[in-house]
Structure 1
């Protein structure tokens, strides 16, 4: 076992720290392009889950701009990050290492949720909720797409 085998799960966990549904939406998009993940993930082979992951990813991007959007560190926000990071981390881990990939992604997502929230609050104070959210969206969606593209390319 090499520690570098778990770099993609750690990175997708970082993505989940800022946008809980982006990891699953990124993997679903890769599935639509007939790309396979290294780890076994049968859920996103089902159309309902693929479309659902994409819809939830898009919905989160819109919902985050609402004034009533809760912090990502509330219980349900952290729970969504744990679930999404765990599933995506397992999918991006080498076959047979799915459990280690899930744990790595969750271990990355939860503490980074507090750090990304602090950064977002500073950005909101400087430029407002919508503008800071759009910038964060662009960075996080690009990071999610890049991590998944690199993990599934071979």
Structure 2
């Protein structure tokens, strides 16, 4: 259930990233493709599409006209993607709880995440803070959904 909570924290900052890292985990076999539509993530085109949407969200975040993550549609997207990823990362018999935990974590963490980003933007600017946030969020999401990938990379060093 810890992975469900953590992926919810990721979703609170970037709404599409949970799907992209889940697609990677599904393609690598680290997460079984058992949820509805999850078998589509094994397809390289679909997996690339999730990555492209996540990258587009990250690029859009750097624009001055980007809405806050706490606008209703932003929270809705975060809730949906957190629920799906949280369920996929939970044990089979605890998927509903995993989805719920992830949704709560996403919605709650969006607010302090936004406050921290706004504070950092005053000092370092929108683009620089966005890139740092992207790196933290994407790296964390990848590690949460793909622990074997991370352990393989750390063993090489």
Same fold (TM over 0.5): yes
The one of 7, 18, 25 equivalent to 1:12 is 7
How do residues 106-121 of structure 1 correspond to structure 2 at under 5 angstroms? Answer: 106-121=103-118
Residues 79-133 of structure 1: CA deviation (Å, up to 9, x unaligned): 0000000000000000121111000000111011001000000010010000000
How do residues 94-113 of structure 1 correspond to structure 2 at under 5 angstroms? Answer: 94-113=91-110
Whether the 8 Å CA contact 1:40–1:98 is kept in 2: the answer is: no
Measure the CA separation in 2 of the matches of 1:93 and 1:70. Answer: 31
Counterpart in 2 of 1:32? 27
Q: Displacement of 1:149 after TM fit?
A: 1.4
Measure the CA separation in 2 of the matches of 1:50 and 1:41. Answer: 15
Counterpart in 2 of 1:132? 129
Measure the CA separation in 1 of the matches of 2:79 and 2:53. Answer: 16
TM-score if structure 1 supplies the norm length?
0.88
Q: Displacement of 1:147 after TM fit?
A: 0.5
Give ranges in structure 1 of 5+ residues lacking alignment.
1-5
Counterpart in 2 of 1:43? 37
Query: SS of the residue aligned with 1:35?
Result: coil
Counterpart in 1 of 2:83? 86
Q: How many residues of Structure 1 are paired with residues of Structure 2 in the alignment?
A: 147
Give ranges in structure 2 of 5+ residues lacking alignment.
151-157
Q: Displacement of 1:151 after TM fit?
A: 8.2
Q: Displacement of 1:56 after TM fit?
A: 1.2
Q: Displacement of 1:75 after TM fit?
A: 0.5
TM-score if structure 2 supplies the norm length?
0.87
RMSD of Structure 2 on Structure 1 (CA): 1.9
Whether the 8 Å CA contact 1:90–1:102 is kept in 2: the answer is: yes
